[in-house]
Amino acid sequence: MLFARLLKEAVRSESLALVDARGHRHILGQGDPRITLRLHDTALHRELLLNPRLAFGEAYMDGRMTVEGGGIHEVLSILTRDAHVDGPVGRLIEMLGPIARRIQQTNPLKRSRDNVAHHYDLSRQLYQLFLDRNMQYSCAYFPRPGMTLDEAQEAKMCHIAAKLLLQPGQRVLDIGCGWGGMAVFLARHAGVEVTGITLSTEQLQAARERAERCGVADRVRFELYDYREIGGRFDRIVSVGMFEHVGVPHYGRFFTRVRELLADDGVALLHSIGRSDGPGVTNAWFRKYIFPGGYSPALSEVVPEVERAGLWATDIEILRLHYAETLRHWRERFAQRRDEAKRLYDERFCRMWEFYLAGAELSFRHQGHMVFQMQLAKSIGAVPLTRDYMVETERSLADTRGLAA
């Protein structure tokens, strides 16, 4: 079977058994395999050979491919540890990368709204199954071992708040505010006024309810806006987990808008998934089923646009395995409440979500993905000369939240 030969390129340090749809058993890698991948449709032999990155996930979702002796996380861990599996179509896409990126990531306003609705307008109850109590759908921060997901997400918000140099009464813009957790946190613990914007109607409703419930609706408002539509001037701008949906062709416009919206002595903080190994192309399965129009950029694609917009990159921090740990928590929590997710949707959806969470986690463990936090300013003197203030403020916030070691 030709697909088995293709997989051998990826399976090196571990072992995996593949049983094709004709019942032939293939041993991949070294040693006696504990896990078996079984194909149930002969059409998969060709589909997996031509475009494995798309067909593999689809086959698992549809039940045409099943796993014995483990789960999809273990299979993907073996397949992503040593090499990529591309196939002829995947290699062609890689060759056409610059053209493909521009086509895939052109996100005018209507397409941006549609892309957001595809993922973020799913049932709120689904996300409540596996997210923390503050509904933070982005990388948590683990400054010490053994932290719970709730603790790590609060630590992330403290970490970001410290970099924003907040003062009571300041006006803050939260671009891509999600379910409102960050905006409410900043208003409650820094005494600022926050405007959160989102393109998700489901998130907008939940965010407004959160502000009312937490007693900060007089200082926090949420609106259905794109970053290209919002007006005004803000002392601080924060954007967490939204930049991945902007698209490379729009980076110039994004940072120009940040500059236009930011006060002369203002500070902005951008938190985004990135690539450590240079520009690439979004995985075909993720692009089709999870994040249409989404892309995690290399810093080499971001920094030039920051420079062209006339902004200072006053601090850049790389968070490496923090998102892998976050996704591990999400994957385990989803598994514990899988039956509830199935009642909300169906078995195929659950298999899709399992594949998504496992694949995303392993992209951070084995395939060069990371998170970067970039502090930006218009003025060279907007932030202190050293980073000491970040540590001091973060420690103070952590103490008040009971997060200190």
Whether residue 259 sits in one domain with residue 129: yes
Rounded average pLDDT over 266-284? 94
Q: How many domains does the chain have?
A: 2
Does residue 102 lie within any of the structural domains?
Answer: no
pTM: 0.92
CA distance linking residue 248 with residue 312, whole number of Å: 20
Please give the helix or strand (H or E) that residue 45 lies within, else none. helix 43-50
Please name which of 404, 380, 397 lies closest in space to residue 162, comparing C-alpha atoms.
Answer: 397
Whether residue 338 sits in one domain with residue 242: yes
Number of Cβ atoms within 10 Å of the Cβ of 83: 14
pLDDT at 92: 46
Whether residue 285 sits in one domain with residue 381: yes
Which tokens is 318 given?
């790389």
Rounded average pLDDT over 367-372? 96
Quote the DSSP letter at residue 298: B
pLDDT at 3: 79
pLDDT in tens, 65-106: 999 999 999 999 998 887 666 544 444 445 555 555 566 666
Whether residue 226 sits in one domain with residue 132: yes
Phi, psi (rounded to 5 degrees) for 82: -115, -30
CA distance linking residue 223 with residue 94, whole number of Å: 38
Whether residue 51 sits in one domain with residue 154: no
> What percent of the chain is helix, strand and coil (3-state, nearest 5)?
50, 20, 35
pLDDT at 319: 98
Residue pair 279/255 in contact by the 8 Å Cβ criterion: no
Does residue 73 lie within any of the structural domains?
Answer: yes
CATH number, position 388: 3.40.50.150
Whether residue 304 sits in one domain with residue 258: yes
Whether residue 214 sits in one domain with residue 169: yes
**Does 223 score more than 70 pLDDT?**
yes
Alpha helices, DSSP H only, in 201-321?
A: 201-213, 251-261, 284-289, 299-308
Whether residue 56 sits in one domain with residue 27: yes
Q: Which of 95, 119, 138 is the last residue of a domain?
A: 95
More confident residue, 116 or 175: 175
Please name which of 341, 291, 279, 355 lies closest in space to residue 56, comparing C-alpha atoms.
Answer: 355
Whether residue 359 sits in one domain with residue 216: yes
Whether residue 121 sits in one domain with residue 85: no
Q: Is 176 left (phi over 0), alpha (psi -120 to 50) or beta?
A: left
pLDDT at 107: 66
Q: How confident is the model at residue 58 (pLDDT cuts 50, 70, 90)?
A: very high
Which tokens is 396 given?
């103070």
Please name which of 342, 272, 367 lies closest in space to residue 123, comparing C-alpha atoms.
Answer: 342
Where in the sequence is the domain holding 133, given as residue range(s)? 107-400
Whether residue 80 sits in one domain with residue 18: yes
Does residue 100 lie within any of the structural domains?
Answer: no
Q: Which of 95, 123, 148 is the last residue of a domain?
A: 95
pLDDT in tens, 278-328: 998 888 899 999 988 889 999 999 999 999 999 999 999 999 999 999 999
CATH number, position 44: 3.30.1050
Write down the mean pLDDT value for the chain.
91
pLDDT in tens, 136-155: 999 999 999 999 999 999 99
pLDDT at 99: 57
pLDDT at 398: 85
Q: How confident is the model at residue 4 (pLDDT cuts 50, 70, 90)?
A: confident
Phi, psi (rounded to 5 degrees) for 297: -85, 160
Does residue 101 lie within any of the structural domains?
Answer: no
- State percent of the chain over pLDDT 70: 89
Whether residue 374 sits in one domain with residue 270: yes
Does residue 77 lie within any of the structural domains?
Answer: yes
Does residue 26 lie within any of the structural domains?
Answer: yes
Does residue 132 lie within any of the structural domains?
Answer: yes
pLDDT in tens, 191-209: 999 999 999 999 999 999 9
Residue entry with tokens 């099943």: 66
